[in-house]
Amino acid sequence: MPAETAQALTTGGTEQRPRHVAIIMDGNGRWATERGWPRLVGHRRGAERVKQIVRACPDLGVNWLTVYAFSTENWKRSTEEVLGLMKIFRRYIEREAEGLSAEGVRLRFIGGRDRLDPKLQALMTSIEARTAGNSRLNLTVAINYGGRDELTRAALRLAQKIARDEIAQPGQDDLSACLDTAGQPDPDLVIRTSGETRTSNFLPWQAAYAEYEFTPTLWPDFTPDHLAEILDRFGLRERRFGGT
């Protein structure tokens, strides 16, 4: 069977592109360690890579990008690494705020904010407000995020609404509306770099029907060309969503 025919049968004759891509940015520390450098060097290089991927997404047809920056489990790392990561987050927001706004990027954050430094929280709130009117790319950064934590908090919000008689017969849509990602489309594609094949508590509810791609490339080495290749492969997948 010719390749063109096979692709037509798979995609219905048109190339499907993921509207929403989510990325588990793994391998920063390993990338630095392999070079004999401190782990934080890898995290700083990883932050630079985020900028490149963000700029590439609109031209690749991606409208929504969600990146996993810091999980609820990452607090278990050394104090030095955690404090260094928080400093990188602050610098990223401070330095990129103007550029993101000028490029039409809307930036939002998901995850529990109560454990974060108040100054970082203020920066997050400020850039969310500053970029709220942008729509060229919707960028969501998960900081102090864990899927189970999010679902627990969402269930509590839903229970409170039920207790106030705001919802009589709760369903899936009601729970979705209580998630950190309320109002955002579910990811079509989840990518994890570094060769690990775990989902690591990332968007378990939202990614229930997402396609997954696990690549051995460490995050600091993950280029827009790597992303483009994965998007091309996504176009060859047949998504049934439980149907035939």
The answer to the question of whether 77 is labelled as a binding residue is: yes
The answer to the question of whether 64 is labelled as a binding residue is: no
What is the distance between the alpha carbons of residues 208 and 135, in angstroms, rounded to a whole number? 25
The answer to the question of whether 135 is labelled as a binding residue is: no
Active site residues: 26, 74
The answer to the question of whether 27 is labelled as a binding residue is: yes
The answer to the question of whether 138 is labelled as a binding residue is: no
DSSP string, 96-128: HHHHHHHTTEEEEEES--TTS-HHHHHHHHHHH
The answer to the question of whether 63 is labelled as a binding residue is: no
Instruction: Identify the DSSP state of 76.
Output: G
User: Beta partners for 23?
Assistant: 67, 191
What is the distance between the alpha carbons of residues 228 and 59, in angstroms, rounded to a whole number? 10
The answer to the question of whether 31 is labelled as a binding residue is: yes
The answer to the question of whether 46 is labelled as a binding residue is: no
Structural tokens at position 72: 């609820």
198 Rama sector, left if φ>0, alpha if ψ -120 to 50, beta otherwise = beta
Amino acid at position 74, single letter: N
The answer to the question of whether 73 is labelled as a binding residue is: yes
The answer to the question of whether 75 is labelled as a binding residue is: yes
The answer to the question of whether 96 is labelled as a binding residue is: no
Structural tokens at position 207: 């990614």
Question: Which parts of 103-217 fold into alpha helices (H)?
Answer: 118-130, 147-163, 172-176
Binding-site annotation: residue ranges: 26-31, 39, 43, 71-73, 75, 77, 192, 198-200, 211
Q: Which residues are annotated binding-site positions for substrate?
A: 27-31, 39, 43, 71-73, 75, 77, 192, 198-200
Q: Which residues are annotated as a binding site for Mg(2+)?
A: 26, 211
